[in-house]
Structure 1
């Protein structure tokens, strides 16, 4: 995966020789990246053509990623000397962390260590493509791109955090800044950490600034969008042997088509199918491939593939991760790697920038209820619906009741109305001893905190800001980057180019969600570029038919059964819940309850891949 790791404020002659290499080993285990030990061996950057370093006179600058400098006075020197060297010179002239980080554009993780002043600056990019975990151990700062690397430092504390495990089961991933470890945190997207002589503070150096007034013509916006899209795809492709994920949705199709245009040759595109009714989207991928003339590669994932991939997916993730789509993403990337592809372009971010998720339209409908005068709601509508004689037998009234109940929940808690853990009930899932160390309200409080940070006035932009963190940075980006790491390829995301992000922020709310019409501007701007079938297609994605296969495939059943049986012994999940889940619940609705089987199975698989810390 490449990355960064190291420390500040700790010296031990007996241990620090070779410590950087030992920490860096997990970062290079899948792609054999080259290790660049720095600053007397006290920090390391693992570089596989995906980073830049500079050091001298007690100062170290290490960058992971391909950031650029848009400042005209710095762009030329950055190309000639390297971004890290220019950043070091800027730091010497004006050591302001916020200004320094704001100079960088693109996906990156930064570690700047100044031994003369005992100062360190850590930062990650605005969208959170490249993660960075950190821990304060006494007065020493430890950091790494992966918790697995950080844990190799002798000062690292790796006690598991029950709250982190609870949050994982709630969200099916680990929301940042938290981790599964009690004393470890991760930087939020667009945030920096400033360490000075044993003390740290974290704060944002960038925030999403929505400009909701509009005023520009559609034609002007369309021309700028297409030009920026072409630039973003070209920059993401770089000089690598590149391919593109192609699910057949609007985002992946757009990236694939633009890659053909940028390169002037047919792009290599990769798709995954499933031999399960209602899950296979290969037909749309083929439509997009024919339309753009790509060299298309297909693979149908089988239940045996899933059994084989599960332990490896768990092992490559430094936090418990329960998004089952990581499996098809891995087989897609593996297929590309076998063809010699070194970088894969993903369409991730399009939904969160341009308004493409179905819940945006749904919440728009719920928001209409908030505009009904309170007196009318409380005195007339709600009594009529909730107290109508025999109302439970009238379908229309049942739907009205459900609508009012959901619309009455404040945002963003309303987004979690159908949360799987919430439906089961925490006390039914977890043991009493485990829950004693957990705040069950913390997940919703975290959502509310993130939602409240946005200065956007419109509902759609507030939801987009939330999803840029929760759905994209915490879920979709780790899914793709870890799947690609496991396959030995690099991932890049053209929609997350900083200029593209800024362009999307300048669209009006109506241009993103026009009534209940999703991503209105995006589809209108690409009407003559994308096939009409793709424009009209309902969103689907790389959903894995795990619940269906779990009922039919004996090896998958055995793996799930063994995993959940071992999980019982950890004192986290109630044994009777596991029995009920794998028995009656799964028989009643395999697709619905199979999701929780997957989440708990992957938790146990993660424990198994880290026996010293997970036992």
Structure 2
């Protein structure tokens, strides 16, 4: 794994800095501080002056230029301090070590494409763009609990105690012995009247064209799932490059999962040089150890595997950069749950007297014992509508549906706050008062679905395969454009991507405009029942997990012995999440006694997201 790491005021030789993934390091030293960059090249800018070290990792610009970005950042830092972060654009992680003033600045980009982990101890500050480059220490039980809830570990926590991660658009400043966390950027939605459609469409297509052109650097290809986002980018890549773009798709020979037909429609429409691979259960079993070893934290999104095989296919084809459509759903209203929650919101808009004095007494009182299909559906609708947002989004959460007490050991539960995940979601959802529901959900997704999940998935897959990931939909100009779209342009009634689809109706094939979202979802549950090798790996992992005293042995037996057979897709997800946790623990040499006692648990604030 390539990346940035360093220390400040740490009494150790510069050679002691660990390089992410074991890559050779380029090192800078200035008194008690050091910076190290793994696999340096076009993705890093370094600057050293007396008493000052600066580095920018990624593809950042300052004043519209990529030339000498770190030197210009250093100048901006001297003039404006931490607010210099706002002058950088693009996707980056940065650090400034100012020994002359005794300050250190760390920051990441507005979307959180790049990561920054840090820990501070008695000896000073250590930081890195990968958790692997920092000392590991004890596991954080709250982070483990949050992993089982979200299937990832959301920032600002890390899997390790005393180690934290920056949120998108956030910085950390250490000065005068104090550490301050601050925000240099956040999404600010504008819900007033927008420009006419023709004006907005012209602006959107111009921003998209520029973002894809900027991403098309060197030998560039594109993920192609056949959805609106990946298809849009594949076509735009051909337009800006002037040659047939190279596209890469993963298929599954399992009914209900294979989307290759849509990828082929897009490939034919845009005349791409298309490459396909049909993933098998054997491929997955063989890749799991390699993938979990590459993850710097437990990661439970199974689509990491097809993304990795897609990136491998591109690398074998000579591609060095691979563009993905991540961010399109979040910025333009493409997730199915947006429409589903809009339907529930209609109930909230009814007069409270009608709801509380008529409908609810009728449904749950007078007719509550009638088992008629229409009444059952009406009661289910009202029951879900009565759950406030954002808790309503967690209705089908696996840990919530099973019950934490049924899944987890009592001693482990005593060391965590079960309400922490929902408290995080609430803080994010209600951070901006007065926003429409669709924009509140977008703010949630920019952090929890995108920064903590999908971007980690794609960047990890690409890094492991040896290619660079790029995300044109997450250009700073596109973020700003999305913020000024009216809510009804993202979700019109229950019609998803209203503006996006109208703006691209002459660009995309009609079949893809009508297609429902799918992506690279993997049929793990179905394979689990049919493939002995994959099943053995999964169930052996869960047997080992029993000994760690995190998950109840009885729940694991029920999961593998009964639940998976009853509903492979739903319960197979929990098998995957638990298997990937155990595999990660094994590959990162974590001792069997992995749970911190309750009286030793660390209190870490999970602040409102800054997306």
Shorter-chain TM-score category? Answer: over 0.9
- Corresponding residue number in structure 2 for 1:154: none
The question of 1:39 aligning with 2:18 is answered no
The question of 1:134 aligning with 2:118 is answered yes
Q: Partner of 1:221: helix, strand, or coil?
A: helix
What TM-score do the two structures reach when normalised by structure 1? 0.94
**Root-mean-square deviation over aligned CA pairs:** 1.4
- Corresponding residue number in structure 2 for 1:590: 568
2:489 to 511, 515, 527: 511
Aligned partners of 1:163 and 1:437 also within 8 Å: yes
- Corresponding residue number in structure 2 for 1:478: 456
Structure 2 CA distance for aligned equivalents of residues 288 and 223 of structure 1 = 23
Q: Deviations over 1:255-301 (max 9, x none)?
A: 11000000000010000000101000000000000000100000000
- Structure 1 residue 38, shift from structure 2 partner: 4.2
Q: Deviations over 1:390-428 (max 9, x none)?
A: 645211111111111111111111110111110000000
- Corresponding residue number in structure 1 for 2:160: 181
1:51 to 39, 44, 56: 44
Structure 1 CA distance for aligned equivalents of residues 477 and 29 of structure 2 = 33
- Corresponding residue number in structure 1 for 2:607: none
Structure 2 CA distance for aligned equivalents of residues 332 and 614 of structure 1 = 34
Aligned partners of 2:524 and 2:572 also within 8 Å: yes
The question of 1:89 aligning with 2:80 is answered no
CA shift in 2, pair 1:587/1:612, >3 Å? closer
Q: Deviations over 1:164-204 (max 9, x none)?
A: 10100001111111111121110000000000143201011
Aligned partners of 2:251 and 2:258 also within 8 Å: yes
Q: Deviations over 1:317-374 (max 9, x none)?
A: 1111000000000000000111111111000000000000000011111111111111
Structure 2 CA distance for aligned equivalents of residues 320 and 341 of structure 1 = 28
Range with greater deviation from structure 2 (400-409 or 385-394): 385-394
Q: Deviations over 1:506-542 (max 9, x none)?
A: 1100000000000100000000000000000011111
The question of 1:603 aligning with 2:603 is answered no
1:562 to 540, 543, 559: 540
Q: Partner of 1:106: helix, strand, or coil?
A: strand
What TM-score do the two structures reach when normalised by structure 2? 0.95
Q: Deviations over 1:465-500 (max 9, x none)?
A: 111001000000000000111111110100000001
Structure 2 CA distance for aligned equivalents of residues 574 and 561 of structure 1 = 14
- Structure 1 residue 35, shift from structure 2 partner: 2.9
Can you give the 5+ residue segments of structure 1 that lack an aligned partner in the other structure? Answer: 152-156
1:138-153 equivalences under 5 Å are 138=122, 140-151=124-135
Structure 1 CA distance for aligned equivalents of residues 369 and 290 of structure 2 = 51
- Corresponding residue number in structure 1 for 2:13: 16
The question of 1:467 aligning with 2:440 is answered no
2:321 to 343, 350, 364: 343
Aligned partners of 1:608 and 1:614 also within 8 Å: no
Q: Deviations over 1:545-581 (max 9, x none)?
A: 0000000000011001110000000000000100000
Q: Partner of 2:430: helix, strand, or coil?
A: helix
Q: Deviations over 1:442-468 (max 9, x none)?
A: 100011111122355211111101110
Q: Deviations over 1:77-121 (max 9, x none)?
A: x445x11111112222x14202x0000001000010011121000
- Structure 1 residue 139, shift from structure 2 partner: 5.4
The question of 1:68 aligning with 2:46 is answered no
- Structure 1 residue 232, shift from structure 2 partner: 0.2
- Corresponding residue number in structure 2 for 1:356: 334
The question of 1:501 aligning with 2:501 is answered no
2:173 to 194, 207, 210: 194
CA shift in 2, pair 1:119/1:169, >3 Å? same
Can you give the 5+ residue segments of structure 2 that lack an aligned partner in the other structure? Answer: 594-611
Structure 2 CA distance for aligned equivalents of residues 613 and 505 of structure 1 = 46
Q: Partner of 1:96: helix, strand, or coil?
A: helix
- Corresponding residue number in structure 1 for 2:96: 112
- Corresponding residue number in structure 1 for 2:350: 372
Aligned partners of 2:105 and 2:172 also within 8 Å: yes
